[in-house]
Structure formats: C-alpha cells, structure tokens
Structure 1
Amino acid sequence: MQKVFIAGATGYLGRYLCAEYRRRGWHVTALVRNRARAGDLAADTLVEAEATRPDEIAGVMEGGELVVSALGITRQADGLGYRDVDYGANLILLREAERAGVQRFAYVHVLNAKAMRHVPLVAAKADFVDVLLASSLPSTVIAPSGYFSDMEAFLAMARSGRVWLFGSGAPRINPIHGADLAFAIAEATEGGRGWLDIGGPDVLTQSGIARLAFSALGREPRITCLPDALRKAALTVLPWVTPRRVHGPAQFFLTAMALDMVGETHGNRSLADHFSGLAAVEQVRTEQGRRT
C-alpha cells in the first residue's frame, strides 16, 4: 500500500485531502498539532507534532512515497508568522522528505503569486516554492484560485443586507470546492504533474458572486461598488492601525480582489449550490430556534 504524509491535515483543504487519498487506497498519515482536535479526520495514522520544530518531524516520513503540504496560516497566532510557517515549516518538511527518500513533494500554493509577491503571506509561500523547485526531489505545485470557504464572506455580507465591493466588481474568479480540489491534487500527484493553476468549473465576476449570494437567500441584490482608491488606501493604512493577525490576511484578500483569479477549470460542484445549501441549513436552524 502506498503511503502519503499530509501536512495541514485539519484545515479546510487538508480534511478533503485525507479523505480523497484514503478513498484511493493510500495509507494516510496526517500531521496534526493536537490529536484531540483531529475529530473524524480520515487518517490511518496521526502524528502529533509542531512542523516548526525539526526534532519533532524527524523520522515521521519513513517508508512513505508522497508528501502533500497544505500547511500555512491565514491569521497569525502563537507568535508565529508567515515566514515561520508558510516558508520555514514547509522547508523543514521538505528537508525531512529529502532525507527520508520520499518520491514526490506536493505543495498547495496560490494563484497569481508573481503579481502578489509583495504581500507577506504570498512572499513566504513563493520563497518556499523557489526552494522546492530547486530541490532534486520531484514536486507538484498546485495554485488554486480560491476556495468556496473564502466566498462565504459574500454570503455573510448578503445576509447582513448589502455586499460591498471595490471598483467595478468585474474581476473574475473560479473558486473551487475543497473536495474537487483534493481530487485534482490526487490526480496531479499520481500523474506526476509538475504545476497546476486550478479553479472550479464556473468563472464568475465578483458582482456575479454577490448576486448568487442574494439569490440563495431569496433576496433582491443590493451591491455597492466603492472607489478602488479606498482599497488601495486600506492596503497602506491597515498595517499601521491593525495587528498583524488582521492586516496580514486583509492585505492578501484586498490585493487579490483587484486581479482576475482564474485557473484551469476542474470539478463539478457549483458555488450557487454551495450557497443554497448553506442558506438552507441556516433557515432550518432559524426555524428550530423559533420553536424552542
């Protein structure tokens, strides 16, 4: 049985990766920070360790063929930053994979990284990719456009009554569901693909996503497009007036909002169905709350 080591296993994508590789018959070893929080993770073996500590990672990949890392942080906590995790921890994993004789190292990057390399979150990822590509170890780099979970911010705004956008709302994106992305990653690693810029099946404008959110809620669209100068001003001001855990992800999302984030289309799950499902669940909870 082939063995895969998955880092970032308890994150949004990581859980889908564990389930997908296990479905394909791989022995899944999942790296977790806290075993008690792994819950129903679809893994055969749990390794409880801190990826930022080389001594805790030593030996954990022995006998494995593949490492897949979705390891990274969105909101910086525990005193760790992007350089510590997105770059440093992944570098530790890569060096251990090289030492253990792993056959391939796959890494989940971000689409349009070259255009966003000035953003600290992206710079840390891009710097690691540079090291990975220079390694003698065969690699697969997967660069997603965005996750369905990221798009839930549109649904939250629509639920509050109005969606706020910057500029024209015309930049396009084809976000992808975690299960579809996990399937594509497994296909890419098993097929030996080197690089994959990837998105979901539907290419949508930002204003189009806003309309999908209102439609799922059964409401008339209320969309306000703010001058793009405000987005640029926020990028300048946020690092001075907010903590790093706030302005770090905000810099990434505000920068990405000005770009077309469209990758090679994959999968069959639609964002419209995802929004409708979330809205239906919320409606059931609301009705149950009224009865109690």
Structure 2
Amino acid sequence: MLGRNRIQIKTPEQIRVMRRAGLVVAEGLAAMGAAAVPGATTADLDQVGREVLARNKATSNFLDYGADWGIPPYPGVACISVNEVIVHGIPDSRELHEGDIVSVDYGAIIDGWHGDGARTFMVGEVTDEAKELSEATRESMWAGISTIAAGARIGDVSAAVQMSLESHERDYGIVREYTGHGIGTEMHMDPDVPNWGRAHRGPRIATGMCLCVEPMATLGSEDTATLDDEWTVRTVDGSWASHWENTVAVTGSGLWVLTEPDGGKAELEARGVPFGPLD
C-alpha cells in the first residue's frame, strides 16, 4: 500500500470509496456557497456543512483536528475564511456582507477514506479585483492538476501553479507556508505539494496516488500571521485572499477529480488531459 517515500498507493476500489467522500465534499461546498449571502454568519455556513455530512452518513475530518498537538482542537466541520483571512477561519458569529469573498475549506470521511476541497465564493456583488483574484487562483489549481500524470514529478505540479499565478499582469502573493498534500486514510499525508517550485524535482507520481492541489493567493504580500486562537491565518498587510482545492486521483487511464461533481471531465478535457474515471 505504501510506495517509495512511503506515499500511499490506492487500489481502484479504495479510490472509488474516496470518490464517495469527494462527492460529499462537492455537495457540501455547493450548499455552503449557496448559503453565503449577506447577513449569514460563518457559523450558519458551518451548520450547512454539518447537515450535508449527516445526510450522507459521513464524518468530518476537520472537526477536532489538532487535538493531539497541544492546541485547541478545531471546532468546525469547515474552515470559513473571509476577505483578509487566508485559511483556517473558525466559524462564529461574523456576518457576511455584500461585496465580501469567503473561502470555504471542507472535508468528509467515508469508511475511513478522506476527501478535501476548497472554493472561494462571492457574497453578492463584489469588485472586479476580487473576482479576478478568485479566478486566477482557481485557474492555477487547474494548471497544477493538468500536469499530474504517472511518471511526472510533484515539482511539475508546483511549478505549474506558480507559473499560472505569475502569468497575470497583476502580481499576486503566492502563500508559501501552506501547501497541497497527499490524502487517503488521513487528510494530510505525504507528499507535500507546494504552490511554487521547480519542474522535474520531487517525488515521482504513480498510478494509485491521490493528491490535493491547493493554491492560496493574495492581492498583496504573501506574508501571513496566525491569530491568538492558534488557527486563523490572515494576511499581514490586510490584503484579501483566495483559496481553491481539489482532491485528484491518478488512475490507469488518466485523472479523476474526486471532489468535482463531473469528476473534472469538462476542465480536464478542455486542457487536453486524459479523464480517467473508475465508474
């Protein structure tokens, strides 16, 4: 089950179970996105995520995370990060307002196998600058995903994310302290998948690997600060941030994006990348 570098290799049946978890993640993200309206609180969104988990008889991989680290265990089933908050925003009474952006990171466990994904949502009418930030981050995620293939290296993914974010006229901050990762019987596993790097470096990708590609970008500096709650990470300069993530499986015939309702078919085929579902 563990390949070189102790990276977990999944069987087709195990990937199919991860797809079930990924579909719960996709459903929850869509539901929380629909609930992200002016006047809703971040706790309201988290409650929506809890209801999706319960309806699908799934459990949360976020709730109580970190309990063994000597820090307060994470209290929500989703990380809900508004505007200048990059990641790990704790759901609470903070209200969303017209023009905000909110990044939701959410996961699910089915039969011991994990799914993990993130989206940035617009609250009402937002500025073009905010829309462009989210779209640039989303596109960089797909640029990274498109390089995943058996025989490629993790550095190829990292370099593609970085190149995509650096291809715009605007200079976006590429958050370096938080990365994508392997996933399977745990939410965070080897290998790390940074959002910057050099192609042709790092662990080799193999059939049966599952990876989370997870760029975070800002309108300003990449510098981050963690608040006193020991979870919430925000930009030092107050600039807004966006966060996108998908869980991707490498199958014998291509890629299967486990946290997309269509398995990533439309986005992959638009980029000429083999779509390899195990349905």
Fold equivalence (TM over 0.5): no
Higher percent of residues as helix: 1
Q: Given the two structures, how large is their TM-score scaled by the length of structure 1?
A: 0.25
Higher strand residue share: 2
Work out which of the two has the higher radius of gyration on C-alpha atoms and give 1 or 2.
1
Determine which structure has greater relative contact order: mean sequence separation of CA pairs < 8 Å that are 6+ residues apart, divided by chain length.
2
